[in-house]
């Protein structure tokens, strides 16, 4: 439907060819722009966003073949058709190897032109559909889980949005008690959104795919960023955060988004399960082939018998001390998954009533075997 009226670009040095193409194709309902040489064509291409480009192979200056190649690397989804002089089949074939979808030999009749362009636009439509499908589906339908997550999120998001409109007073005055209740609704629903996100992310996590996007990561920078993010919640409990990073610690190969998650969860826990005026000390240092970081707190600690379960999904240590603290029990499960995906290891040491210490080692270089 969106291609009935397409943007077409004709790059040809012969004015008469450009004009006749423009006339014929405009009558077909398309928007046509002409360019008299390759450089001009490339410029028009950038701001005109054509669906299809007709390129004369034989032009003075930049050759049609070069233009074709540049357009192909700029956007392979734009359909390119070459105009060849006196039916030189070999150059047409050559052009098709370099990304042309079709060719049309000069001279051509209006009907021939329309036919080739129509075929090209059909191809364009398919390419666009495929692209759109990839875009929309890649993330969302690759897994049924993600689709369900969208369907779960949508009604909650719509409800939260209404609540916030009400809280803004846009729908009329709200009594202070009602406001408090609506705030609670809002918070509870946002927690639910968080929970859905966390659970889905864990369910569809793919370590192999992640490793393909590894980059150099400076752990000290990551720690600082996370401490900055969590500073306000630490301040609320008057918990003191400190960082002790060895100088010139080597970078590791990893995913920043994931490691951010690791730091935020560990430091977040160390604050959450701490006491008023407690301390959280983060340490980063090199050890053999690994870079290590520790998150130490002098908070409530974990009883020995509960330690083995803290990395389980949805596990939370029960007991009076932790129950008023909100959480889903997914944080450490995520941390463990992330650390494993980086080829690292996590260990924990805790004394009930005294404090907890998490230590993570991440290899400086990671060899992740594909398909394992």
Partner 1 sequence: MNLKGKRILIIDDDPDFVRSTGMILKSAGYEVLEAFSGKEGLEKSKAENPDLYIIDLMMETYSEGSLVVDALVKDENTRDKPRIMITSVDLKGPWDSYPGDEWLACDFLLQKPVPPAELLKCVEKAIA
**Interface residue list for partner 1 (CB under 8 A):** 1-2, 7, 49, 51, 128, 132-133, 135-137, 139-141, 146, 149-150, 153-154, 156-162, 164-165, 168, 170-171, 196-197, 200-201, 204-206, 209-210, 213, 255, 257-258, 261, 338
Binding residue (CB under 6 A) for ligand ATP from 146, 264, 269, 296? 269
Nearer to partner 1 by Cβ, of 89 and 144: the residue is: 144
Least distance between partner 1 and beta carbon 14 (Å): 26
Measure CA 41 to chain center.
33
Binds 300: which of ligand ATP, partner 1, Mg ion, none (CB < 5-8 Å by kind): ligand ATP
φ/ψ bin of 289: left (φ > 0), alpha (ψ from -120 to 50), beta (otherwise): alpha
Range 255-272 burial, b when 16+ CB lie within 10 A, else e = bbebbbbbbbbbbbbbbb
The CA-based angle 143-145-147, given to 5 degrees, is 80
Q: Which is nearer to partner 1, 127 or 281 (CB)?
A: 127
Among 149, 269, 274, 357, binds Mg ion (CB under 5 A): 269
Least distance (Å) from partner 1 to the CB of residue 366? Answer: 16
The answer to whether 270 contacts ligand ATP (rule: CB under 6 A) is yes
Minimum CB separation of residue 328 from Mg ion in Å reads 8
* Footprint on residues 292-311 left by ligand ATP (CB under 6 A): 297, 299-302, 310
Assigned token pair, 51? 């669906």
Residue 23 binds which entry of ligand ATP, partner 1, Mg ion, none, CB below 5-8 Å type-dependent: none
* Residue 156 beta carbon to ligand ATP: minimum distance, rounded to whole angstroms: 18
Contact 296, 346 (CB under 8 A): no
For residues 97 and 103, the answer to whether their CB atoms sit within 8 Å is: no
Using CB under 6 A, count the residues that bind ligand ATP.
22
Residue among 88, 82, 113 nearest 12 (CA): 82
Q: Where are the alpha helices (H) located in the chain, listed in sequence order?
A: 15-27, 38-48, 64-74, 89-97, 110-140, 144-167, 176-204, 207-211, 219-236, 256-272, 331-341
- The answer to whether residue 356 forms part of the interface with Mg ion (CB under 5 A) is no
Among 41, 120, 278, 331, the residue binding Mg ion under the rule CB under 5 A is 331
CB of 316 to ligand ATP, least distance (A): 3
Residue nearest to ligand ATP (CB): 331
Our finding on whether 201 is near ligand ATP (CB under 6 A) is: no
State the residue for tokens 């979808």.
101
> Alpha-carbon distance 311 to 49, whole Å?
51
Scanning 44-52, 70-78, 87-95, 330-338 for contacts with ligand ATP by CB under 6 A, the matching segment is: 330-338
How many whole angstroms separate alpha carbon 263 and alpha carbon 293? 10
Q: Is 120 in the site for Mg ion (CB under 5 A)?
A: no
Give bridge partners of residue 215 from the DSSP assignment: 254
Q: What is the rounded distance in angstroms from the CA atom of residue 180 to the CA atom of residue 199? A: 29
| 252, 214 Cβ separation under 8 angstroms | no
**Contact positions toward Mg ion, by CB under 5 A?**
269, 331
**Contact positions toward ligand ATP, by CB under 6 A?**
265, 269-270, 273, 297, 299-302, 310, 315-317, 322, 327-333, 356
């Amino acid at each position: 439907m969106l291609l009935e009226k397409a943007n077409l670009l004709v790059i040809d040095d012969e004015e008469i060819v450009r004009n006749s193409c423009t006339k014929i194709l405009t009558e077909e309902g398309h928007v046509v722009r002409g360019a008299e040489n390759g450089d001009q064509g490339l410029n028009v291409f950038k701001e005109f966003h054509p669906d299809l480009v007709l390129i004369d192979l034989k032009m003075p200056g930049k050759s049609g073949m070069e233009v074709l190649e540049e357009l192909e690397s700029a956007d392979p989804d734009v359909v390119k058709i070459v105009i060849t002089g006196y039916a030189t089949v070999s150059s047409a074939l050559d052009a098709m190897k370099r990304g042309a979808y079709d060719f049309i030999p000069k001279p051509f009749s209006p009907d021939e032109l329309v036919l080739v362009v129509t075929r090209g636009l059909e191809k364009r439509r398919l390419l666009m559909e495929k692209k759109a499908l990839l875009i929309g589906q890649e993330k969302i339908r690759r897994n049924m889980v993600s689709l369900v997550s969208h369907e779960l999120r949508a009604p909650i998001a719509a409800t939260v949005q209404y609540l916030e409109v009400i809280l803004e007073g846009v729908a009329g005055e709200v009594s202070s008690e009602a406001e408090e209740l609506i705030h609670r609704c809002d918070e509870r629903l946002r927690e639910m959104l968080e929970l859905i996100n966390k659970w889905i992310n864990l369910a569809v996590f793919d370590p192999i795919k992640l490793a393909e996007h590894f980059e150099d990561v400076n752990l000290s920078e990551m720690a600082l960023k996370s401490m900055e993010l969590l500073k306000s919640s630490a301040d609320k409990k008057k918990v003191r955060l400190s960082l002790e990073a060895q100088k010139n610690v080597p970078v590791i190969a990893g995913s920043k988004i994931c490691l951010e998650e690791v730091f935020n969860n560990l430091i977040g826990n160390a604050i959450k399960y701490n006491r008023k005026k407690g301390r959280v000390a983060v340490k980063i240092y090199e050890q053999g082939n690994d870079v290590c970081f520790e998150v130490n707190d002098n908070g409530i600690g974990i009883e020995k018998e509960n330690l083995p379960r803290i990395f389980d999904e949805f596990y939370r240590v029960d007991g009076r001390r932790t129950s008023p603290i909100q959480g889903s029990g997914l944080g450490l499960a995520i941390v463990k998954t992330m650390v494993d995906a980086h080829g690292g290891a996590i260990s924990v040491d805790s004394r009930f009533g005294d404090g907890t210490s998490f230590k993570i080692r991440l290899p400086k270089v990671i060899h992740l075997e594909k398909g394992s």
